[in-house]
Amino acid sequence: MVFSKINRKGNKKLGYGSEVPPLLLHVKIIVDQQGLQEKIANEFFNHYQAQGWKTKTGVPIKNWKQILDQWIWERR
């Protein structure tokens, strides 16, 4: 699958950096690469979307991939 490297703002980073919020598709790709079910990607995305992409303490998430790694670790 080939993805455009141009994000919504015209920058060449989409899906390759820590842009928040991420596209659900990019979350699904990483979860799939870890050999996990798509429902984990959906749960992660919906959870943080509902929280406004903030941590439990209300700090804005700067790197969603790091948060996703923690999410996956806790579910293994």
The reported pLDDT for the residue numbered 36 is 94
> Is pLDDT above 80 for 46?
yes
Query: What is d(CA 25, CA 72) in angstroms, rounded to the nearest whole number?
Result: 16
Length of the chain as a residue count: 76
pLDDT class for 60, splitting at 50, 70, 90? Answer: very high
> Is pLDDT above 90 for 51?
yes
Are residues 21 and 64 in contact, defined by beta-carbon separation less than 8 angstroms?
Answer: yes
> Is pLDDT above 80 for 27?
yes
Beta bridge partners, 60, equal 54
Better pLDDT: 23 or 18: 23
Query: What is d(CA 62, CA 56) in angstroms, rounded to the nearest whole number?
Result: 14
E-strand spans in 1-76? none
Mean pLDDT of the chain: 85
Q: Report percent pLDDT > 70 for the chain.
A: 76
